[in-house]
Structure 1
Amino acid sequence: MSLFESMGLRSEILSAIQELGFEQPTPIQEKAVPFLLESDQDMVALAQTGTGKTAAFGLPIIQQIDNTLKAPQALILSPTRELAMQIANDLNTFSKNMSKFNIAVLYGGADIRAQINSLEKGAQIVVGTPGRTLDLIKRGKLRVNEIKWLVLDEADEMLSMGFKDDLDGILKDTPAEKQTLLFSATMPAEIVSIASKYMDNPHEISVGKKNTGSENVEHHYYLVHAKDRYLALKRVADINPNIYSIIFCRTRMETKEVADKLMQDGYNADALHGDLSQAQRDHVMARFRSGHLQMLVATDVAARGLDVNNLTHVINYNLPDDPEVYIHRSGRTGRAGKKGISITLIHMREKGKLRDVERKLGRKFEKQDVPQGREICEKQLFNLIDKVEKVEVNEDEIEQYMPVIYKKLAWLDREELIKHFVSVEFNRFLTYYEGAQDINVDEHGYDERKEDRKDRNARGRSERGERGRPERGGKGRRGDYQYSRFFFSMGKKNGISKRSIIDMINQQMPGKSVEIGSIEVLKGFSFFELDNRYERDIVKAFKNARFKGQKVNIELANKKK
């Protein structure tokens, strides 16, 4: 007999959760479900998001609902539209084998008439956001004066989003004899105030210490100069090829800037911020939930209600001012028994703030070194090999192309073929990180780059000419290479980035190890430098090149007419 069966749940509910693959209850479910089935005492539950809270309150409520009564018996309030919809979907799944059972979900930004219709059909459970719920109460379309259960899910989030007045307006119309259930990840003073005002001697359960993070999450920080924060972010992404992460920024402007940079640099990323329409927001969130996006850049407000269980990392582009905000962020990874990593990028002035978060969290952060280029190249190389080894070959589809492929590659022996194949991807990272600097800063703020900066700048001026650009005829010399400078007919408005130019050079000149110099990407066009021994080869290689369907033109910059 499973623990779910021993709790006394009805067979219709047990069959539904068995179909979902529920085998053993989570700690919050193990504590909450038996209590709510046996007691009508109010309850405060402290648990991180993603620990199975919906089933913890949903299963006992569904069990005890009178489905012959076509009126609201349970009201569940959540801070966001997305979370409300998710709760309603979960409850519909848990109750799918029960007849005459109706659930209404209420939220802003949607047709209110459809929501009124769902209430008029006789919904026994109502799930809603505070604003729309209060609106429908004032319109007389939602009556909460006879409800038996009131659930405040993620109550701390509702308060931080400014819903206190809405909650007060809703709660004053509910009956005194109802059972009130409050679920929260943290226990700030406002939650204590609500509990004392609207709850009667609540029973408290917890699956962790108050105001602390999940035990499944490691907390890392990287110490860099503020100007190097984006470079550090890219290296963290590159050293984790299978990253699936939310990147938190302070402002919507910063969110847009970071997301735009990541996308221009070829990363599978997008932004979530307050300027998006609901349709745009839903599209981005659907792509992220389905795994089509690896990185989602978001503000705290925009990410509320986004519930994803498989995040490998949470990245704090900035350390939040409120330690409890950090606890919420980090709690989005390390769910469902899996391990997760919360990463924070800080500069010297934020070290004191980091200590405040550590005290609140009750955990020490581990200082990590920003990965170096060679380390990243090695990780990406072996990740590529793992993918090739495990890829599923579609024999039927690829068979017709194999004779041409065999003929094309017949001149290569086994070792050379492997080298060529691996280099297609490996050269991209090798070129990008060649000469990459160490951007780590030690605990005392020491940066070894400062020690040789004057010497390096002087050397750069002498090698490249007074203004730092190649001399005469588009050519310049640095180190052991002479470079030619080329005009490239596309720029930022076409989606071109430094990485996309490097990728195109590697694609158009396969098998050739071409030294690439500086790259300058402007709005409508770009410039790049290349080993001058390949001047003719590069022009010939790009003769029929295209980028996203558009023809690409390149020519030697400043060439004589």
Structure 2
Amino acid sequence: MAQNFKELGLSNGLIKGLNELGIVTPTAIQAEVIPLLLEGKTHLVGQAQTGTGKTAAYGLPILEQVNPKQKSIQVLILCPTRELSQQVAKQLFRFTKYTDKIFTEAVYGGEKIDIQIKNLSRPTHIVVATPGRLIDLLNRKAIDLSQVETVVLDEADEMLSMGFKQQLDEILGFVRDVGNKWLFSATMPHGIKQIVNEHMNADAHRIQISRDVVNKNIDHKFLQCDETEKLPILLNFLKSKGGERGIIFCKTKTATAKLAKQLVAKNIAAEALQGDMLQKERDKVMRAFKNESLRLLVATDIAARGLDVQDLTFVIHYQMPDQEEYYTHRSGRTARAGKEGLSLALVTSKELRILRNYEKALGIGFGEIKSR
């Protein structure tokens, strides 16, 4: 595997910017994907979990290929959530400190569309968008995709599980003849295979970063207990972890709100994050979590989509998820960027059966912790 980004074919300006950010050694997906995408027009299906460095894997080739002198949108990146859109745009900006100015605009729901339309009237080379907001802009004829040469679907399975299949089909219809189509997904459910079959070349490159590479830094543990024992066990665990930060997952909004209240009552800095929060409420919680004035998020699977917060040392499954890909996404919130992390499931005897199924399906070995 390549030891540095020069070996992958990146230009000196980008490498200088990466060095300054402390990004020196390519991750597995970057080493595989970057040389391929730099070669020329290609269709790519990449399977990799969150936290494996895929934004740089597609972002760096994009920045090499954009023509800064051409004042039109050349790249469209689709993301499931506002947070991920903002994060991708910010990361692309940080990479270009020592290159020609390349302008990226993020557009998403929850903000006034008029402001975004005004922003798009400035020279823009790359647009990072959520599917719903992009459809709104297309319907208003407020965005021109006629010069787009590269389309990226980031966290495609997330977009699908959020109900964006119809919008994705419609958007991909607008950019049917684009030479570069790159899709990234942690899992490959039927709906993703449909998108690949309908909108990408039959000879699209397929790269899968194997699960053991992704999950080698995550320690998967479980503790069997009765439902009534979960809260005291959780409190003991949090006490043992000092000030370390993490996310606790529940299946429903009601369970999330209840658990967050119980933790706050014990003087633990926690907040609930669930799907039907107003955007400004969600932003307020995420700001507090990112600036570390908040230690814990208690979240539903839907609410946690697209989150990217560094330095989380643990994820707790207070209730086991219904689908194995949810377990994968939850666990992937810890052990980011080469760090180690713990994924701990608190399971009743009924939930233990689910855990054993995931163990087989995902190829994970769960270690048991005995309650004292």
Normalised by the length of structure 2, the TM-score is 0.95
Cα contact 2:78–2:153 (8 A) shared by 1: yes
Residue of structure 2 in register with 1:203 after alignment: 205
Cα contact 2:3–2:26 (8 A) shared by 1: no
Cα contact 1:323–1:357 (8 A) shared by 2: yes
Measure how far apart 1:100 and its partner are.
4.3
Residue of structure 1 in register with 2:226 after alignment: 225
In the alignment of these two chains, the number of paired residues is 370
Residue of structure 1 in register with 2:21 after alignment: 20
1:363-512, aligned counterparts within 5 Å? 363-370=364-371, 372=372
Cα contact 1:50–1:309 (8 A) shared by 2: no
1:100 and 1:350, CA in 2 relative to 1: closer, same or farther beyond 3 A? Answer: closer
Residue of structure 2 in register with 1:258 after alignment: 259
Cα contact 1:249–1:318 (8 A) shared by 2: yes
Residue of structure 2 in register with 1:299 after alignment: 300
Measure how far apart 1:62 and its partner are.
0.7
The alignment status of 1:183 with 2:184, answered yes or no, reads yes
Residue of structure 1 in register with 2:239 after alignment: 238
Measure how far apart 1:55 and its partner are.
0.8
Counterpart-to-counterpart distance in 1, 2:312 and 2:126: 31
SS of the residue 2:52 aligns to: coil
Which residue identity lines up with residue 346 of structure 2 in the other structure?
L
Counterpart-to-counterpart distance in 2, 1:274 and 1:52: 26
- Post-superposition Cα deviations, 1:282-335, rounded to whole Å, max 9, x if no partner, equal 121112122222211011111112101211111011111111110111111112
Counterpart-to-counterpart distance in 2, 1:126 and 1:64: 15
Counterpart-to-counterpart distance in 2, 1:159 and 1:280: 25
Counterpart-to-counterpart distance in 2, 1:3 and 1:302: 36
Which residue identity lines up with residue 128 of structure 1 in the other structure?
A
Which residue identity lines up with residue 310 of structure 1 in the other structure?
D
Counterpart-to-counterpart distance in 1, 2:334 and 2:324: 17
Counterpart-to-counterpart distance in 2, 1:315 and 1:251: 15
Residue of structure 2 in register with 1:408 after alignment: none
Cα contact 1:213–1:361 (8 A) shared by 2: no
Normalised by the length of structure 1, the TM-score is 0.64
1:100 and 1:348, CA in 2 relative to 1: closer, same or farther beyond 3 A? Answer: closer
Counterpart-to-counterpart distance in 1, 2:84 and 2:178: 27
Which residue identity lines up with residue 8 of structure 2 in the other structure?
M
Residue of structure 1 in register with 2:138 after alignment: 137
SS of the residue 2:26 aligns to: coil
Residue of structure 2 in register with 1:95 after alignment: 96
1:109-124, aligned counterparts within 5 Å? 109-124=110-125
Cα contact 1:131–1:166 (8 A) shared by 2: yes
Cα contact 1:106–1:127 (8 A) shared by 2: yes
Which residue identity lines up with residue 349 of structure 1 in the other structure?
K
Which residue identity lines up with residue 135 of structure 2 in the other structure?
L
- Post-superposition Cα deviations, 1:129-174, rounded to whole Å, max 9, x if no partner, equal 0100111111111122331100000001110111101101101010
Could you say which structure has the greater relative contact order, defined with CA pairs below 8 angstroms and 6 or more residues apart? 2
Cα contact 1:229–1:345 (8 A) shared by 2: yes
Cα contact 1:43–1:180 (8 A) shared by 2: yes
SS of the residue 1:17 aligns to: helix
Task: Report which stretch shifted further, 77-86 or 335-344.
Answer: 335-344
Counterpart-to-counterpart distance in 1, 2:270 and 2:216: 28
Counterpart-to-counterpart distance in 2, 1:213 and 1:324: 14
- Post-superposition Cα deviations, 1:364-412, rounded to whole Å, max 9, x if no partner, equal 2111123x4xxxxxxxxxxxxxxxxxxxxxxxxxxxxxxxxxxxxxxxx
Counterpart-to-counterpart distance in 1, 2:59 and 2:236: 42
Counterpart-to-counterpart distance in 2, 1:105 and 1:270: 27
Cα contact 2:223–2:370 (8 A) shared by 1: yes
Which residue identity lines up with residue 281 of structure 1 in the other structure?
R
Measure how far apart 1:198 and its partner are.
0.8
Measure how far apart 1:279 and its partner are.
2.0
Cα contact 2:312–2:333 (8 A) shared by 1: yes
Counterpart-to-counterpart distance in 2, 1:131 and 1:350: 36
Counterpart-to-counterpart distance in 1, 2:276 and 2:61: 39
The alignment status of 1:86 with 2:98, answered yes or no, reads no
Measure how far apart 1:98 and its partner are.
3.2
Which residue identity lines up with residue 157 of structure 1 in the other structure?
E
Counterpart-to-counterpart distance in 2, 1:305 and 1:336: 16
Task: Report which stretch shifted further, 240-249 or 74-83.
Answer: 240-249
Unaligned runs of 5+ in 1: 373-561
Counterpart-to-counterpart distance in 1, 2:307 and 2:104: 21
Measure how far apart 1:2 and its partner are.
6.4
Residue of structure 2 in register with 1:338 after alignment: 339
SS of the residue 1:342 aligns to: strand
SS of the residue 1:302 aligns to: coil
Cα contact 1:151–1:182 (8 A) shared by 2: yes
1:263 and 1:58, CA in 2 relative to 1: closer, same or farther beyond 3 A? Answer: same
Cα contact 1:145–1:175 (8 A) shared by 2: no
SS of the residue 2:215 aligns to: coil
Residue of structure 1 in register with 2:59 after alignment: 58
- Post-superposition Cα deviations, 1:92-151, rounded to whole Å, max 9, x if no partner, equal 111233344211110001021221122211211000101001111111111223311000
Larger radius of gyration: 1
- What's the C-alpha RMSD, in Å, of the aligned pairs? 1.7
- Post-superposition Cα deviations, 1:404-432, rounded to whole Å, max 9, x if no partner, equal xxxxxxxxxxxxxxxxxxxxxxxxxxxxx
Which residue identity lines up with residue 5 of structure 2 in the other structure?
F
Cα contact 2:176–2:199 (8 A) shared by 1: no
The alignment status of 1:75 with 2:76, answered yes or no, reads yes
Cα contact 2:105–2:120 (8 A) shared by 1: yes
Task: Report which stretch shifted further, 269-278 or 292-301.
Answer: 269-278
SS of the residue 1:4 aligns to: coil
Counterpart-to-counterpart distance in 1, 2:176 and 2:198: 14
Residue of structure 1 in register with 2:43 after alignment: 42
Counterpart-to-counterpart distance in 2, 1:358 and 1:217: 14
Cα contact 2:272–2:298 (8 A) shared by 1: yes
Which residue identity lines up with residue 9 of structure 1 in the other structure?
L
Cα contact 1:146–1:175 (8 A) shared by 2: no
Cα contact 1:146–1:174 (8 A) shared by 2: no
Cα contact 2:52–2:214 (8 A) shared by 1: no
Counterpart-to-counterpart distance in 1, 2:226 and 2:214: 27
Residue of structure 2 in register with 1:192 after alignment: 193
